Amino acid sequence: MSALLLLASRALLHHALGVCPPARAGWIAAAANELDCMPDPRESFLWSVGTVQASYKERFRAMSLQEPQVPGLVLMLEVLTCFLPSCLLWAWSVGAVVTGTLPLLEGSCIVSAGLIGPIGLLIFGQVAVGIPPPDGRWRSLILSSLAGWTAIMALVSPVIPLPLEEMPWRDGVLLVLLPFIAALHYALLEHQSTSHVIS
C-alpha cells in the first residue's frame, strides 16, 4: 500500500509541475524535494494533493486577457461554440425582418436576443486570435449585459416571440447558456488582467 501511495504522490507532483505556470516551477521542484524527506507515505500523498491544489490556484491566478494560458485554438473553439449559434440567429432574424417574413416587434426581440452573437465573436474573438484588448472593463459589462438580456428575452419576457417560445432545451443551451458562460469567462480573464496591473 505504501508503494502505491508513493507512486501516486510522484504522479501528482508530476501533474502539478505540468499545471503550474512556468514562473512557479521552482516551487514545485522544492515541493518534490520535501516529499523525499517525509517518512509517512500518507503524509507525502496529502502533501502532493496540496501541491496540485496550489498549482491549479497559481494557474488560475496567472490567467489574464494578455496571457490567457489557454491555447488560441482552444479559445477560438470556445468563441465559436458559444457565440456562433446566437450569431446565426441574429443574422436570420435581421434577414427575416428586412424581408417582412417576421413581424417587426417579434423580429426586433429576436434581433436583440441574438445580438450577443456578433458582439461576442468580435470582443472575445480578438482575445482568441491574440489581439490584446484596450484597457477598461466595458467589454465584459457589454457581454454580461447582453447575456442577461438574451436570457430575459428567451425565458421570462412577456412578449416572447413565437420562435423562442417553442425553443427546445438544447437550443436554449446553445442560445442562452453557452453565451452566458463565455461572458463569465471573459469577465474572469478581464478581472485577472486588471488585478495583475494593480499588483
Chain segment 47-58, per-residue pLDDT in tens: 888 888 888 777
**Is residue 116 located within the same domain as residue 90?**
yes
What is the pTM (predicted TM-score) of this model? 0.58
For residue 61, the tally of other CB atoms under 10 A from its CB is 15
169 or 11, higher pLDDT: 11
What is the rounded distance in angstroms from the CA atom of residue 75 to the CA atom of residue 157? 32
**Is residue 52 located within the same domain as residue 126?**
no
What is the rounded distance in angstroms from the CA atom of residue 78 to the CA atom of residue 108? 27
67 domain residue, yes or no: no
Q: What's the rounded mean pLDDT across residues 38-62?
A: 79
Interval 69-104: pLDDT, tens: 566 677 788 888 888 988 998 999 899 999 988 888
7 domain residue, yes or no: yes
- Its domain, for residue 86, covers 72-198
**Is residue 140 located within the same domain as residue 122?**
yes
**Is residue 100 located within the same domain as residue 180?**
yes
All three cell numbers of 83, joined, read 457565440
166 domain residue, yes or no: yes
**Is residue 23 located within the same domain as residue 93?**
no
